[in-house]
Amino acid sequence: MKQPATGFRVVRKGFFSLLQDPGRFGYEHIGVTNGGPMDAMAANWANRLLDNPASATVLEVTAGGLELEARTNTMISVTGGDLNLTVNGEPQVPWRSFWVTTGDKLRFAHPRLGFRAYIGVQGGFYVPQQLGSSATVKRDHLGGLHSNGEPLQDEDFLPASMLAEEGIARQIPQRFMPDYSGDLTLHLVPGYQQQAFSKAAWQQLVQQTYTLDKRSDRMGARLSGEAIESPQLGMFSEPLSYGAVQVPADGQPIVMLNDRQTLGGYPKVGNILPLDGFSLAQRQPGTKIQFKPIGLMTAQQQMRRYLRFFGL
């Protein structure tokens, strides 16, 4: 991959800004986790707006604070949470693509709605791949600009190509824009040790309202509510798939997400629908959350529709 000399200078690194592509797959058997955009739907839109392939590297901006200076002329896209982006001081709404030129200052402030914004650039950011992916995973020391899993730092330079002429600015139709406000329902496909949980525990899980805990991170979303009884199985650690809902002895569920550890030893009630995991990534601590059972076939149908839509 020939790296262009043009791109974006990181003036201020922000809270937590990570270069991401769809993720690192096929290495879980040696303990390497997936990574990838927490809200894959928004990341896919960021690339779609620019006619990029879905594999193009985007920037995930969590909680804002990032400031970039364009050192190129190109089309960029902004999707996901509204983190009060301004370009040269002018407020910008997300879910669209637009032209930027050398010297433009892009500034994210605090989240207005949602939690993570995605920036796509025509052709993608040029980032070296490790194990087939550019995804930044801090705990694995893999991916990102310097191939060490570190988030963006002040004065980093994000290589991106330069376009000879302005492209067509696009806006995503209103009906496709997700709503990140309000309570969230996580559809749950029963599985793993679900049978080992008591009927009362299961009832309680799907009836009570949980609160998204502030200790949530890219590994997992912690939910707090009245403790449910977790079966004492004395089990060996086993592989964790995306969205697995662990219930440790304290009875508080943890939804395992992109940077989850590949093995875990707690009983699990099943997995959430990945589409709901994407919405979960846009919620701030304190959000009210409920589980709702869903059949495997229905869940797979919804995922098929999503994959087909983005040509994945």
- The residues binding other proteins (CB under 8 A) are 25-32, 130-131, 139-142, 189-193, 235-239, 241-244, 261-263, 270-271, 273-274, 296, 299-300, 303-304, 307
Given the complex with other proteins, which of 110 and 304 has the nearer CB atom? 304
CB of 190 to other proteins, least distance (A): 7
Do the Cβ atoms of 271 and 244 come closer than 8 Å? Answer: yes
CB closer to other proteins, 190 vs 251: 190
Cα(273)–Cα(297) distance, integer angstroms? 11
Report the nearest approach of other proteins to the CB of residue 250 (Å).
Answer: 16
Q: Where are the alpha helices (DSSP H) in 159-265?
A: 199-207
Question: Which pair of structure tokens corresponds to residue 88?
Answer: 């040269």
Q: Are 229 and 210 in contact (CB under 8 A)?
A: no
In the complex, the smallest distance separating the C-beta of residue 283 from other proteins, rounded to whole angstroms, is: 20
Residue with smaller CB distance to other proteins, 203 or 300: 300
Contacts from 199-208 at CB under 8 Å and sequence distance 24+? 200/229, 201/228, 201/229, 201/230, 202/269, 204/228, 205/253, 205/269, 205/291, 206/290, 206/291, 206/292, 206/293, 208/290
- Give min distance, CB of 106 to other proteins, in A: 32
**Which one, 169 or 263, has the nearer CB to other proteins?**
263
Q: Alpha-carbon distance 304 to 312, whole Å?
A: 9
User: For residue 92, what are its two tokens?
Assistant: 């910008």
* CB closer to other proteins out of 141 and 215: 141
In the complex, what is the shortest distance from the CB of residue 277 to other proteins, in angstroms, rounded to a whole number? Answer: 10
- Sheet containing strand 58-62, edge to edge, reads 16-20, 58-62, 113-121, 74-82, 96-100
- If the CB atoms of residues 70 and 273 are measured against other proteins, the closer one turns out to be 273
Nearer to other proteins, 102 or 148 (CB): 148
- For strands 288-293 and 184-190, give the pairing: parallel
State in angstroms the smallest separation of the CB of 130 from other proteins: 5
The least CB distance from residue 191 to other proteins, in Å, is 3
Cα 70 to chain centroid, rounded: 24
Can you read off the two tokens belonging to residue 108?
């994210």
Nearer to other proteins, 113 or 131 (CB): 131
Q: What are 80's two structure tokens?
A: 């996901």
Tokens coding 203: 């009832």
Rounded to a whole number of angstroms, the minimum distance from the CB of residue 139 to other proteins is 7
